[in-house]
């Protein structure tokens, strides 16, 4: 009978679940990596959202009849409920999906001085209102490009560009048909339930987990490694850079950091925060507990 090659891994995993082995108590990795009290860690609260303005720049476009009118009286009422829930976190820093050159804090100050109206996008509808509520003076723009964006701009771009073009040829972040059905369901759901209920759904652990799975099907399987390389040097690298920006914003153990980003990003940011020993990661639905 052939030996099961998974047995060593299984027994090692089993060993870690036993408090004593050969008379010796086994230490939890967090005995070394995490302070005894999580209160000494910055708190980070992820909020995955859809784009209220429907820029339709993502792989999946939302048909007009499936778009939420965030400015309608009903949705504004629902938005107040959503803001009340998010406010339970009491953030002292708010990080959003914007590039530094967008000067989002300056836009907020223009809104406060009534120089510009409150726009439809989620940064204005959610972040601006929370900044005002908690009397903050800065909005942190933490979006980032990727190494795939940078390489064509280098002095050696004439060498890199043909190679990058070959990797990204016909790569469009499209998933298989089952995922397309799932994404269509999520989109239509936003028009049939309240905003808070929808945010609870798209930020739930199983939905986040399967959103991550979307990156591992469809175009991921292009060529031998081409799809994997495209994911790594564009989408994964971009989110790693965003995570680095979160790290740079977390400057005090007393920080309570709200991260407001498109839900597609949350799948990777969730993975990174779950594995980092440096933060007290609070998931969206944890505030209900």
Q: pLDDT tens digits, residue range 130-157?
A: 999 999 999 999 999 999 998 888 777 7
Q: Is residue 180 part of a domain?
A: yes
Check residues 40 and 83 and name the one with the higher pLDDT: 83
Residue 10 has a pLDDT of: 46
Residues in the chain: 289
For 53, counting Cβ atoms within 10 Å of its Cβ (0-12 exposed, 13-18 middle, 19+ buried), the class is: middle
Residues 201/282, Cβ–Cβ less than 8 Å:
no
Containing structural domain, residue 237: 39-288
Q: Is residue 130 part of a domain?
A: yes
* Nearest alpha carbon to residue 41 among 254, 209, 218, 288: 254
User: pTM (2 decimals)?
Assistant: 0.86
Task: Please state the domain count of the chain.
Answer: 1
Residue 6 has a pLDDT of: 47
- C-beta pairs of 105-111 under 8 Å, 24+ apart in sequence: 105/137, 105/138, 105/139, 105/141, 108/139
Give the separation between CA 268 and CA 209, rounded to whole angstroms. 9
Taking the CA atoms of 173, 203, 90 and 133 in sequence, report the sign of the dihedral they define.
positive
Query: Average pLDDT over the chain, rounded to whole?
Result: 88
Half-sphere exposure of residue 46: CA atoms within 13 angstroms, side-chain side:
28
Q: Is residue 27 part of a domain?
A: no
Q: Is residue 31 part of a domain?
A: no
For 247, counting Cβ atoms within 10 Å of its Cβ (0-12 exposed, 13-18 middle, 19+ buried), the class is: middle
Structure-token match 């008379």, residue found: 23
Helix (H, G, I), strand (E, B) or coil at 128: helix
Residues 44/279, Cβ–Cβ less than 8 Å:
yes
Instruction: Estimate to the nearest angstrom the gap between the alpha carbon of 228 and the chain centroid.
Output: 20
Residue 33 has a pLDDT of: 87
φ/ψ of 4, rounded to 5, equals: -75, 115
**Token pair in block for residue 124:** 């204005």
Helix (H, G, I), strand (E, B) or coil at 171: coil
Give the separation between CA 125 and CA 122, rounded to whole angstroms. 5
Q: Is residue 116 part of a domain?
A: yes
Q: Any idea which of 22-36, 38-52, 111-125, 253-267 has the lowest mean pLDDT?
A: 22-36
């Amino acid at each position: 009978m052939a030996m099961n090659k998974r047995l060593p891994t299984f027994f090692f995993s089993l060993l870690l679940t036993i408090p004593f082995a050969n008379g010796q108590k086994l230490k939890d990795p967090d005995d070394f990596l995490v302070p005894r009290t999580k209160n000494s860690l910055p708190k980070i609260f992820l909020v995955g959202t859809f784009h209220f303005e429907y820029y339709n720049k993502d792989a999946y476009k939302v048909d007009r009849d499936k778009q939420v009118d965030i400015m309608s009286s009903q949705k504004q009422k629902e938005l107040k409920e959503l803001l009340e829930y998010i406010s339970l976190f009491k953030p002292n820093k708010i990080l959003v999906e914007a590039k530094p050159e967008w000067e989002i804090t300056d836009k907020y100050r223009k809104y406060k001085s009534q120089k510009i109206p409150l726009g439809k996008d989620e940064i204005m509808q959610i972040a601006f209102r929370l900044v005002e509520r908690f009397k903050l003076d800065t909005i942190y723009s933490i979006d980032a490009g990727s190494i795939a964006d940078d390489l064509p701009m280098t002095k050696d771009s004439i060498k890199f560009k043909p190679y990058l073009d070959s990797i990204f040829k016909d790569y469009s972040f499209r998933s298989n048909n089952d995922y397309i059905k799932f994404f269509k369901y999520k989109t239509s759901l936003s028009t049939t339930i309240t905003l808070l209920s929808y945010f609870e759904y798209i930020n739930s652990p199983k939905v986040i987990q399967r959103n991550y799975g979307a990156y591992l099907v469809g175009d991921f399987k292009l060529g031998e490694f081409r799809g994997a390389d495209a994911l790594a040097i564009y989408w994964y690298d971009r989110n790693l850079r965003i995570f680095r920006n979160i790290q740079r914003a977390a400057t005090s153990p007393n920080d309570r950091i709200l991260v407001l980003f498109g839900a597609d990003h949350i799948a990777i940011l969730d993975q990174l925060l779950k594995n980092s020993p440096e933060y007290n990661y609070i998931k969206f639905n944890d505030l209900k507990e």
